[in-house]
Structure 1
């Protein structure tokens, strides 16, 4: 009887780590890419063009 119950029990699925690890690596790579782009981007200028030409 115990053998029959053991055969009827559903096998437990193990959780896979690869999808989680892949998502974490993709997020880290995109964060590093964004940080590099922000560092290498030219600085923004907030002055209006008319001020340089003397326009009031």
Structure 2
């Protein structure tokens, strides 16, 4: 009997190993999509508020100070 002869079937071992491997877990896309949507909405809201806000009016303290 030669060394390559064996009572074990290589095909069956490969099938068993394939059955023992856990299935690949897929990452859910919804949390990342929700975070990106929230960030986009908040940044657009901030931009609109900054555009529509009235300008800041300042006056110099030195002009109103008594001499």
Normalised by the size of structure 1, how large is the TM-score?
0.74
Normalised by the size of structure 2, how large is the TM-score?
0.64
Q: Which has the larger radius of gyration?
A: 2
Hey, which bits of structure 1, 4+ residues long, moved more than 6 A? none
5+ long unaligned stretches in structure 2: 1-12
Aligned residues: 54
5+ long unaligned stretches in structure 1: none
Which structure has more relative contact order (CA 8 Å, sep 6+)? It is 1
